[in-house]
């Protein structure tokens, strides 16, 4: 039976590998992500269309906006950054939640 440390490290490692892989594959462009990226590239500013989710949307778009301000124009790279912003925040929060219960036998 694996220890909770092994389960914790395996789970966190798998979560981050999947988040980085899906960012590399531009998975954030599915559904509305492509429209978000077009609006961000066109306006060179945050795309906020839904006030109740403004904070979460702005946090996810920070990597793209930073790259646009630095002069990046490659849409594929911007799509990867948008995907990273959309996947890294929930992954980081889930990582923190797992860190709090890493010694719990139920893990």
Residue-wise pLDDT for 38-63, tens only, equals 888 888 788 877 778 778 888 888 99
Question: CA 49, 97, 86: angle at the middle one, nearest 5?
Answer: 30
CB 107 within 8 A of CB 98: yes
Maximum CA extent, the chain: 54
Q: What is the pLDDT of residue 107?
A: 63
Q: Which pLDDT does position 1 carry in this prediction?
A: 58
Residues 11 and 98 sit within 8 Å (Cβ to Cβ): yes
Whose CA is closest to 83, among 38, 21, 17, 40? Answer: 21
What predicted TM-score, i.e. pTM, was given to this entire model? Answer: 0.82
């Amino acid at each position: 039976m694996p220890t909770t440390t092994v389960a914790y490290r395996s789970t966190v490692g798998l979560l981050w590998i999947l988040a980085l892989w899906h960012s590399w594959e531009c998975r954030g462009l599915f559904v509305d992500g492509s429209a978000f990226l077009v609006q961000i590239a066109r306006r060179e500013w945050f795309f906020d269309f839904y006030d109740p989710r403004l904070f979460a949307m702005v946090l996810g778009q920070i990597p793209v906006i930073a790259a646009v301000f630095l002069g990046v124009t490659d849409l594929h790279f911007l799509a990867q950054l948008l995907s990273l912003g959309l996947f890294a925040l929930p992954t980081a929060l889930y990582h923190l939640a797992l860190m709090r219960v890493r010694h719990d036998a139920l893990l």
